[in-house]
Structure 1
Amino acid sequence: MGLLTKIEDRPTPRNVYNWRVYFSSAVAAFAAVMIGYDSAFIGGTIALPSFKAEFGLDRLAAAEVNFLSANIVSCYQAGCFFGALFGYPIGQLWGRKKGLMFAAAVFVLGAGLMLGANAQRGLGILYAGRAIAGLGIGCASNLTPIYIAEVAPPAIRGRLVGLYELGWQIGGLVGFWINYGVNKGMPAGHSQWLVPFAVQLIPGGLMGLGCIFIRESPRWLFSKGRRPEAVANLCWIRNLAQDDAYIVEEIDAMDRQHREQLATVGDGFGAPFRAVFTNRELVKRLALGGSLFIWQNGSGINAINYYSPTVFKSIGVVGTSASLLTTGIFGVIKTAVTIVWLLYLVDHAGRKVMLLIGSLGGGLCMYAVGAYIAISKPAEHSAAAGKLSSGGIAAMFFFYLWTAFYTPSWNGTPWVVNAEIFDQHVRTLTQASCAANNWFWNFMVSRFTPQMFAAMGYGVYVFFATLMLLAIPYVWLLLPETKNVPLEDMDALFAPGVKRWKAHAIVMREVRSRTGMETGASEGGGKPAGGWVEDA
């Protein structure tokens, strides 16, 4: 099996894997570039001496600086939380495409406001801009995975939804290195810290412009009874004629699901609420999807993203330039591993397996870092030494190894799973809930990380490591594998009485039997009737 080999649920024409589906997914995924950039640049930017000097942070006690830094960072996550909730009515009533355009416009407005901050105006306009930008990002974080999942063919759905994660890492990579660049290449002053804020406008503008050229989700159009438009968009995205057998089958599945929706829960704004909260199984599934973001944030990733200078200082890295350089390498590793995850691991190794491996490896690495800090207390000695000890180098190795375990597992997989596991008629609502869960826990971590490091020291690493290991039995017992399962068959994975660690094999046997594929191929042991299909 090659790197780009696809395991299909049914015989699929090569035309389906065309530039249109990749372009549409990439445009939507630009929302993640904005998210990743913010998570990476903000901690380093507010740590620049020029920023501290302009707003008087260099004259405050450490506790006061921690308080203000936490407020600057976390007001963005607060906006994201409410934006994710507002994404439901926007995506339900306006559609995915218009919703993404609206999100991009709100983000650009907020990013523009941030540029008005200076010593005379104070931090108020910065707070307001970050909260407004957060509203746009929260809305986009709801709609982007939904849109991509709805336009993607099953064999590359994980890969395409994974573009969201790749965008996050690309944005993060730029954010980490731009702080290093302005610190080394620009004189200290107002412009030095303003440039990283201004760069936010680029991905926001590109996303808004790109949305003009993509098509609305056919599945959303079907759910609204706009069948002719839905069929036309589906044919455009798949690059196939309306009478092609593949299109006929996919339209039949959408028609069937729409009829079932009308018969069981009806249509309208409140129908998804009735469908979810009157169905115990869906409530359980919603709780499961939302809880994945508790474990994701419990890994410590956002403490590292938003406060990377603090994290590396605790290991013994001193000096603004050294801290930003180390953070930049962290971003490079995340991006490189994300590409491997995107091209191969997510659709071949699967979602569940990667979460289990990431939890075990990441937890052990985080324990190693915490043990080094507890024994050596590098923050007390690194300034005199001027460089990392051999123990410090080992701790950095385990930290970067933790990055390699975390990135292809908990970083993007929860978004992929939540975009897949719900029916079309409730997907916008459930994704709003799951995205809001992410931003709530993101807010909690970003708001209290400085205080945690001040109070707990190495205990912060022990805390996050323990949570990663506790995620292992949780995922094994409760989460079924979802790779290659058609969206219309997701309910079968959660059927009462079916053990979650066996559900994938059972469902894929049924899918392949129904669509004429050889049985047994779901676990990689056989080939589809038409053979493996690779990207041209």
Structure 2
Amino acid sequence: MSTDQPSRQGKSALPPLVAGAYRKRLGLISVIACFGGLLFGYDTGVINGALRPMSADLGLTPFTEGVATSALVFAAALGALLAGQLSDLWGRRKAIILLSVLFFAGTVFVVTTPNLELLVTGRILIGLAVGGASTVVPVYLGELAPYEIRGSIAGRNELAIVSGQLAAYVLNAIIGTTLGHVEGVWRIMFAICAIPAICLFVGMLRMPESPRWLVEKGRTDDALTVLKTVRTDDRAVAEVADVQNVKKEEEHQHQIGLRAVFANKWLRRILLIAIGLGIAQQLTGINSIMYFGQTVLIESGFDQSAALIANIAPGIIAVIGGIIALKLMDRLDRRKTFIIGLSLTTACHLLIGLSSIILPAGNPVRPYVILFLVVAFVGSMQTFLNVAVWVYLSEVFPLHMRGLGIGISVLMLWITNGFLSLYFLPLVDAVGITGTFFLFAGVGVIALIFVITQVPETRGRTLEELEEDVTTGAIYTISDHAGHSAK
């Protein structure tokens, strides 16, 4: 597929993207920023193996286990909203530095807690940081990346997230099997979170601010200086001019901030679409598997020790899927990626439900079949949905509402995640694996219809071109035309 839509649409003629030392600089920035994604992944994944020893140590009940788990998730919803607005006001870089401090402080609370109250306090601090990272890091990367490779650059954060989750599963398995006899072993599992938090803090002190945010704040010279470190000089000048032109048009038409969102039906529509996409991603049940995969595997027939080790398999396939997704992001349209992903995940849900009926409890094959299907589900999700959704949310909003727009969208995503994490185990207990995954399959069909009928295409256009198309509603006409042409 060609990605030269800007020239086709006659909007922008940026100098071509060429090889150079600036690509290494861009790579370094993405590595440092993605420590936020690594923390996101580790902090959400570590509970998977730490929950049982933590519950025994602190005397938690099933209800307080749910509270300790979901506290992070609901706090992440608030963190996503607050950090999005903070990054609009204060800057993407400073917001990420603040998040690194929250990650570290929350880890200290959790590791040293003598009771549930301080545990929940620490989980809330970490949750605020996780939600903030899920909002600000993709925007930061998306605003620094050239549009030709924006998908693979912004998508690195999702790869970092699943790498963090895999690290949590592997370290949980190693620590749990070698130090399981040590009192408070779960504290060691959580303490590891402090290392990437320190790396993120120190690294971001030396990273630049988003050039697009700088232009928005009237600091054009600073923006050009930053952009020249990650582009050729002529490309940097042309991009800054594009951002300036769009900013002037918005100011002339009074299209600034929250008021502009409510006054413009196309901005309201794109916000609702982004919210719907985030909710659809969560309603696949992916994070229920990532948080409670060990429990699902025990329910399928593995014993506790085997489930802890087998739980590494979904983590491995998630990282492999993330690597494949980065290769696809700049080659395959976002809509097509979503449709493939939802089709595959829904099929996996149906097969998991059917296999749990065909292979009754006690059948020696049952746990391995369900493990294979869970791995297939996670692989499909990671290859075609997770990376693409986060990239989409980071690029689809106009600059003046980008932090607010992704903040609201991710707020709703995390609220959905929170309710699933709170009620997933009771749901499995009430209707079993069969009913749970059939329910996910039904939701998957609805999500597929939503994507096909509502979600517009964003690949292959600069952020400034997308901004104009979203604000005027042209993005829906372009997507419809592209869809008809593909047929």
> TM-score category by the smaller chain?
over 0.9
- Partner of residue 492, structure 1: 469
Of 349, 353, 373, the residue aligned with 1:366 is 349
C-alpha distance in 1 between matches for 2:97 and 2:272? 29
8 Å contact kept, 2:34–2:160: yes
Unpaired segments of 5 or more residues in structure 1? 58-64, 382-387, 507-519, 524-536
1:329-340 → structure 2 map (5 Å cutoff): 329-340=313-324
**Distance of 1:469 and 1:28 partners within structure 2:** 35
34 and 7 in structure 1: CA distance in 2 versus 1, 3 angstrom threshold: farther
**Would the aligned equivalents of 1:277 and 1:283 in 2 still touch at CA under 8 Å?**
yes
The secondary structure found in structure 2 opposite 1:348 is: coil
Q: Is the 8 A contact 1:86 1:139 kept in 2?
A: yes
Offset from partner CA, 1:134-153 (integer Å, 9 cap, x none): 11222222211111111000
Structure 2 Cα separation of the partners of residues 37 and 395 of structure 1: 25
Distance 2:4 2:174 in 1: 43
Q: Percent identity?
A: 27
Alignment partner, residue 516 of structure 1: none
**Aligned-pair distance for 1:505?**
7.4
How big is each residue's C-alpha offset from its partner over 1:204-236, in whole Å with a ceiling of 9 and x where there is no partner?
111111101110011101001111111111111
Q: Could you tell me which runs of 5 or more consecutive residues in structure 2 were left unpaired when the two chains were aligned.
A: 7-13
- 2:417 paired with 1:442: yes
- Are positions 1:237 and 2:215 aligned together? no
Deviation >6 Å, runs of 4+: 5-8
- Cα deviation digits, residues 387-412 of structure 1 (max 9, x gap): x6234433322222222211112222
Indicate yes or no: 2:251 matched with 1:262: yes
Equivalent residue number for residue 414 of structure 1: 389
Does structure 1 retain, via aligned residues, the 8 Å contact 2:356–2:366?
no
1:248 pairs with one of 215, 229, 237: 237
Residue in structure 1 matching 2:72, options 76, 81, 88: 76
Query: Structure 1 residue 326 and structure 2 residue 307: aligned?
Result: no
Residue 474 of structure 1: aligned partner: 450
* Counterpart contact for 2:3–2:459, Cα < 8 Å: no
Alpha-carbon shift at residue 154 of structure 1 (Å): 0.6
Show the counterpart of 1:99: 95
**Aligned counterpart for 2:330 among listed residues 343, 347, 356:** 347
> How many pairs were matched up?
475
Q: Hey, what does 2:55 align to over in structure 1?
A: 52
User: How many angstroms apart in 1 are the aligned matches of 2:276 and 2:156?
Assistant: 22
**Map of 1:457-536 to 2, 5 A cutoff?**
457=432, 458-490=434-466, 491-492=468-469, 495=473, 498-499=476-477, 501-504=479-482
Tell me if the contact between 2:297 and 2:367 (Cα under 8 Å) persists in the aligned partners: no
Q: With structure 1 as the length reference, what TM-score do the two structures score?
A: 0.84
Q: Does 1:290 find its partner at 2:248?
A: no
1:226 aligned residue: 219
**CA RMSD, 1 decimal:** 2.2
Choose the corresponding residue for 2:402, options 404, 427, 441.
427
Instruction: Give the structure 1 partner of residue 10 of structure 2.
Output: none
Corresponding residue of 2:33? 28
| Structure 2 residue matching 1:225: 3-state secondary structure | coil
- Whether the aligned pair in 1 keeps the contact of 2:78 and 2:128 (CA below 8 Å) is yes
Choose the corresponding residue for 1:186, options 169, 179, 190: 179
Larger radius of gyration: 1
Identify if the C-alpha distance between structure 1 residues 504 and 108 changes in structure 2 by more than 3 Å, giving closer, same or farther.
farther
Distance in 1 between the 2:236 and 2:263 partners? 34
| TM-score scaled by length of structure 2 | 0.92
Relative distance call for 1:112 and 1:391 in structure 2 (3 A) is closer
Change (3 A) 1:86 1:498: closer
Q: How does 1:134-149 map to 2 (within 5 A)?
A: 134-149=127-142
User: Match for residue 266 of structure 2?
Assistant: 281
Q: Report the Cα distance in structure 2 between the residues aligned to 1:346 and 1:498, rounded to whole angstroms.
A: 21
> What code does the residue aligned with 2:243 have?
M
Given residue 54 of structure 1, which amino acid in structure 2 is its aligned partner? D
- Counterparts of 1:424 and 1:503, CA distance in 2: 25
CA distance in 2, matches of 1:184, 1:500: 55
